[in-house]
Amino acid sequence: MTAETVSRLNLRRFAQLSIWAAVFTIGLKSAAYLLTGSIGLLSDALESLVNVIGALMAFWMLTIAARPADKAHAFGYSKAEYFSSGAEGGLILIAAAGIALTSIERLISPKPLEKVGIGLVVSAIASVVNFVIARILKKAGKQYHSITLEADAQHLMTDVWTSLGVIGGVGAVALTGWQRLDPIIAILVAFNIVKSGIQIVRRSALGLLDRSLPSDEHDLIWKTLEPFKKNGIEIHALKTRDAGARKFVSFHVVVPGNWTVHEGHQFLEKIEADICKALPNVSVFTHLESLDDPASWDDEDLS
């Protein structure tokens, strides 16, 4: 088992942390709903249920994504992370629909809230837990280039803002006595969740479609290649793609026709090493061409 595989497998501990946090907050938010009867707090609890399912999916996909490349999957399994984030985005949208339907029913037939103070304290504790876990997951996602952990962190932060909105709404109901304010807040929460879900699904879809690397990373590659473009040497046909934690870069290097195979190979090794140093988790593919062959310029427009 390679060091990279071990490192990717270790990411599952963050998914496990997310699972336990989601189970804990479901208990707290469900208790808050049972104490108060607030449909807003119920919507908050339903979103935490989605958190559990999403965290379980994340754990499964991180396990698959950590598998080393094999004959059937020569480029590895890193794209499995997109299925996790896409599924979580879909679950968020389903939860939002459920919240909206329940809220409309309560909007038509409002009910008084009970034990608001205790319910809000319990919900606030759950929000603090989610905030702490979200920060941990976001940091890990950035550090290890995991879209799964980043999506989970984004979902939890959405949950935090949702909870704050619900707490404010329930508090406003207690102060004003306007019962319909509770389901109105819940509907607004549903719209906020939809926005987050669409963003996660969109990012996952773009990843599955082999989107090019971000512009800043693309510029970094060209900056790394620039010193090698001298004495007539040209580099073109640059293509990049993102596959979960892995990045793939390919390009053509046009060198003098009188170079030996050994000289060309050593030159490409140096270029590849510099790109791998500049950009982590990247696989580089190069193609050597001759300045003396007109066919070398046929694919120049791919750059």
Q: What is the largest CA-CA distance in the chain?
A: 87
Question: Given CA atoms 252, 256, 260, 262 in this order, what sign does their dihedral have?
Answer: negative
Question: Helix or strand or coil: residue 236?
Answer: strand
Instruction: Report domain 3-208's class.
Output: mainly alpha
* Beta-sheet strands, E only, within the chain: 234-243, 246-255, 282-290
Q: Amino acid letter at 47?
A: E
The share of the chain scoring above pLDDT 90, in percent, equals 17
- Give pLDDT tens digits for 46-85: 767 777 877 888 888 888 877 877 888 877 787 787 887 7
Q: What is the pLDDT of residue 303?
A: 55
- Give pLDDT tens digits for 225-265: 999 988 788 899 899 988 777 889 999 999 998 899 999 99
**CA–CA distance from 262 to each of 11, 225, 266, 269, 288 (Å)?**
41, 20, 6, 11, 12
CATH homologous superfamily of 215-302: Cation efflux protein, cytoplasmic domain (3.30.70.1350)
Mean of all residue pLDDT scores within the chain:
80
Residue 38 has pLDDT above 50, yes or no: yes
Residue 279 has pLDDT above 60, yes or no: yes
Q: What is the pLDDT of residue 3?
A: 47
What's the token pair of residue 81? 């992370």
- Report the relative pairing of strands 246-255 and 282-290 from DSSP bridges: parallel
Q: What is the pLDDT of residue 6?
A: 45
- Give pLDDT tens digits for 91-119: 778 777 777 777 777 677 766 666 667 76
Q: Is 114 left (phi over 0), alpha (psi -120 to 50) or beta?
A: beta
- Give pLDDT tens digits for 164-197: 777 777 777 777 777 777 777 777 777 877 877 7
Q: Among candidates 109, 123, 97, 104, which has minimal Cα distance to 30?
A: 123
Q: In the chain, which residues fall in CATH 1.20.1510.10?
A: 3-208
Residue 141 has pLDDT above 60, yes or no: yes
Considering the entire predicted model, what is its pTM?
A: 0.65
pLDDT bin (cut points 50, 70, 90) of residue 287 is very high
pLDDT bin (cut points 50, 70, 90) of residue 285 is very high
Q: In the chain, which residues fall in CATH 3.30.70.1350?
A: 215-302
